Amino acid sequence: MSTSTPSNPPTQATSVAPAHSDHDDELVKVHWLDRVPGRGNPAAWPLGLAGALVLIAGTFLSWSYTSDVLGDLSVNFWPGGVQICMIVLGLVALVLLLAHRGPLAGLGAWLDTATSVRALGLGAVAYMLGALGTIAVKSGGIININPGGWISLVGALMLAASGLMLVSRQTKDPLFAKTSSWLEICTIIVLMALVLFGAAYALDVGDGASFVLFLLFVASVAWGLSKAGVFTWIGLISQKNRQVLMLGAFAVAFLFPFTQGGSDENMSIATQVLIFAATALGLNIVVGLAGLLDLGYIAFLGAGAYVGATLSASAFATIDWKPPFLIVVLLGACFSALLGLIIGSPTLRVSGDYLAIVTLAFGEIFRLTMGNLDGNNGPVLTNGPNGIPAIPDLNFFGFDFGQPHVIAGITLGRFANYYFLLLVIAAIIILVFTRLNNSRIGRGWVAIREDEKAAEAMGVNVFGLKLFAFAGGAFLAGMAGTVKAHHDVSVTPDQYIFLESAFLLAAVVLGGMGTVAGVLVGATILKLLPEKLRFVADYRLLIFGLVLVLMMRFRPEGLVASQRRKLEFHEDDEELAQRIEEVHLEEAEAKA
């Protein structure tokens, strides 16, 4: 990074001490950290270094007396997966501490290392308490915790105490960092590799408690790097190297099946995540861009699935015509879009809560209608509640999706075959979404979302664009539905209940409305967690509700939000607006 400085350096993490004005009662508030004993103490930095080293050293010693808790943590000098997470966290903390004061001090001028170390320390303490608590509960008492666990806990406490006492030395804004292109591209490649490794490890973790600890580790490191300002720089270089980022993301997605060793279980989960993500991307057009609250979107996925099932070679299919799969995909997508037009034409003249109620009713009407087309209450089309089972696997140009294939010595099973097909469909959906988002149509949708009356006054065809968003989102969901029918082997009405629509909407809101990466992250979280946390299945909805409440409180714009959404939810953050404006001015000057 160069030594160029911003015109308006960011304020320090510490608050200004109380100062009197003309009126005695007007005081500047003191941040709670200023009351921490030892704040700014010179011993804080060596304490942090010692804490990180002690944390890492403890991981090379046994944590558990028994070998059947959290993997095998009973062997000295052979860290298990749970311990390796703490090694990584300790190394990240060491780098940041050396950037705070030491050989990497030049890097520390760009990063808020004090706040970052504090976040990492608190995360390490929470991780160690969770790990040691799990060992104590599952092995029969605290006595079964070996010295290595206590040593790592002490190191985590020392690191957290150091973070609370450190004072930030950041003087430059990461938004204004000038770096070489090769460094930016290498950073993106490393990030993609970490994503690939992390996804493979997460799916390979079978124990629920170990999976929760892994999530806590990822959250702690992400929190620490975010507080340091690393993600600000990563977001900037991602915008500058968007094509490299997209290519890397698809390379990671393509290589993922080769990391699973032929595991059908893991690939089944990954395929379900892709189906869920592709459907959520279609909903993102309706909710994220146009701002239309749709609570019955799952019906469009079901419409595509029923088209795929009734036109399949299943013995229970009710239509004799068996066209090629490409024709089936287009028919399923067009049928879903037609339903979007039918339901949207009379209802899109209302908005807000009224539109939500109407779409909720449409989702229920679709489910009940599919259950009544059984020959008794209606024509024989869907076999009613029994649905259409025994749907055969696709055979595309001689390629049988139901048979395993060996590539480079790695066996790719049935679910891996469908994974690659869905990856192509997801790529098409992402291409359509990004093109629409960057077009006049996308700007019209955003204008409608922000202020429908103002958009109409400026000449925007409000009703036409809303109807197009509804039909376009339905079209994309229908495409995913036709593949889902063959992947699931059967289609029944109870697969398309309101709760599925709620989870799709939550994926869009949780990840970040109006963004591709955000929806992919949200869909992955909401689809992966229930599979890995089956031991708390009875409390799934409670945990889900708590997560949404916390998101609304601390990050209402979503996990991966666009700059526009950040400003919408943080209108009072004048510093953020000023920084973004200065970056845009610099980019405009560079282009000129």
Domain 260-539, what fold? ABC transporter involved in vitamin B12 uptake, BtuC (1.10.3470)
- Residue 481 β-bridge partners: none
Any residues with CB less than 8 A from the CB of 39 and at least 6 apart, and which? Answer: 33, 164, 165, 167
Close Cβ partners of 42 (under 8 Å, ≥ 6 residues apart): none
Q: How far is CA 229 from CA 58, 147, 493, in A?
A: 29, 36, 48
State the Rg of the chain over Cα: 27
> How is residue 511 written in tokens?
């990840």
Q: Which pLDDT does position 156 carry in this prediction?
A: 96
Determine how β-strand 410-412 pairs with β-strand 405-407.
antiparallel
pLDDT above 70 covers a percentage of the chain that reads 88
d(CA 473, CA 257): 28
**Tokens describing residue 154:** 């002490």
Q: How confident is residue 564, by pLDDT bands cut at 50, 70 and 90?
A: low
Residue 267 has pLDDT above 90, yes or no: no
- How many other C-beta atoms lie within 10 A of the C-beta of residue 75? 13
374-431 tens-digit pLDDT: 878 778 888 888 899 989 988 887 788 888 888 877 888 889 999 999 999 888 888 8
485-511 average pLDDT score: 89
Alpha carbons 301 and 505: distance in angstroms, whole number: 14
In eight-state DSSP terms, residue 176 is G
CB distance 232 to 179 below 8 Å: no
pLDDT band at 23 (very low <50, low <70, confident <90, very high): very low
Going from N- to C-terminal start, the domains of the chain cover: 32-251, 260-539
Q: Which of the four pLDDT bands, split at 50, 70 and 90, describes residue 132?
A: very high
pLDDT category of residue 14 using cuts at 50, 70 and 90 = very low
DSSP letters, 292-310, are ---S-THHHHHHHHHHHHH
* Residue 314 pLDDT > 70: yes
Say how far apart CA 104 and CA 1 lie, in whole Å: 12
Which whole number is the average pLDDT over 306-315? 90
What crossing angle do the helices spanning 181-204 and 242-255 adopt, rounded to 10°? 30
Is 60 exceeded by the pLDDT of residue 6?
no
| 381 closest CA partner among 389, 373, 372, 371 | 373
Q: What is the pLDDT of residue 534?
A: 77
